[in-house]
Amino acid sequence: MSALPASDDDDHTVRTTRVHFGPLVGNTPVMKQLFARLERAAASRANVMIEGEAGTGKELVARELLRRSDCPSGERTTIRCSVAPASVGGDVGIAFPDAGVVFLDEVDALSDEAQASLLHVLRSAGRRAVPGRGSVRVIASSCRDLRAEAAAGRFRIELYHRLAVLDVVVPPLRARLDDLEILLRELFPLESQAPMAPHVLRRLRARPWPDNVRGLASWGRTNLPSTMPIAPMALARRRIVAQFERSYLEQLLASSNGQFSLAASRAEVTPRRLDALLDRHGLRTCAIGRTSAVEAPGDPD
């Protein structure tokens, strides 16, 4: 998989202690380099291709780029290509907008016919675009190396070049094993207050992690409590509630395309209450339009 070319800015960022890009965390050189490239992509209006194995966090990257994209005259739309019919655009359940930002999730799942349809839509959007307004930015994700797929004739080369103006690759977990503990602390903040036992970390490092961070989260849900002393009932209850809240909020944001107001409405909570929950679980950057939800002081939680 190709990536954005390295630059002096990238090298400088690798030497910093930055460990976040939105909800993504990491403290290894490969992640700091990724964060530097994502910062450059976030500051651009160019189309972005996010590549990486399943479970590495490509959708989290896309959500953060969606949130940061400047589209005052348009909308933010997600199209799940794995469930899209043969054509993309007005015939799909979610219409391709005339302006805004579109996230094409699993674009590698499109059939050849759907690729042709998408290419036609992108050509048309380019002809209609007015500089500074009325343009569409596309953020796409793929589990496959689309450059190799295009070279093998399994993906349209022109479509690839239109989508991959900027190309970033999210590394697999096996390439960032020094991030294991920081990832567990992010995924399970209450359970991971104490340092991980060295023998547990050694066993984790020896695993192949085919499902990447998603697999680590699954391991943590099943095994992490057994590595901790029995907690008092009140603390155990808080841990279970915290796990439920985080899982619920992640599903809520995903089903609402990250739209803050829509998420609050679906959850039947006030924007202020949702705001506090997102802060508590470190998900505030996943919500789009969060700062636009303003409540008068004194509104009930």
Query: Residues with Cβ < 8 Å from 133, sequence gap 6 or more?
Result: 73, 99
pLDDT in tens, 156-190: 999 999 999 999 999 999 999 999 988 988 887 75
Distance of alpha carbon 192 from alpha carbon 184, whole angstroms:
7
Q: Give the orientation angle of helix 233-255 with respect to helix 260-267, to 10 degrees.
A: 120
pLDDT in tens, 144-156: 999 999 999 999 9
Indicate left, alpha or beta for 16 from its phi (over 0: left) and psi (-120 to 50: alpha): beta
Q: Which of 43, 103, 101, 44 is nearest to 72 (CA)?
A: 101
Indicate left, alpha or beta for 298 from its phi (over 0: left) and psi (-120 to 50: alpha): left
Residue 88 is encoded by which pair of tokens? 């993309």
pLDDT at position 11, please?
38
Q: Is 62 exposed, middle or buried (0-12, 13-18, 19+ CB in 10 A)?
A: buried
> Which of the two residues, 57 and 230, has the higher pLDDT score?
57
pLDDT in tens, 56-84: 999 999 989 988 887 666 678 888 888 76
Model pTM greater than 0.75? no
pLDDT in tens, 179-188: 998 898 888 7
- Strands 24-25 and 20-21, by their bridges, are antiparallel
Distance of alpha carbon 263 from alpha carbon 267, whole angstroms:
6
Q: Helices in the chain by DSSP H: which ranges?
A: 8-14, 29-42, 58-68, 112-128, 146-151, 157-163, 180-187, 198-205, 212-223, 233-255, 260-267, 271-280
How much of the chain exceeds pLDDT 90, in percent?
A: 38
Q: Which of 57, 69, 54 is nearest to 31 (CA)?
A: 57
Rg over CA atoms, the chain: 20
Residue 123 is encoded by which pair of tokens? 């050509």
> Which of the two residues, 51 and 22, has the higher pLDDT score?
51
pLDDT at position 23, please?
85
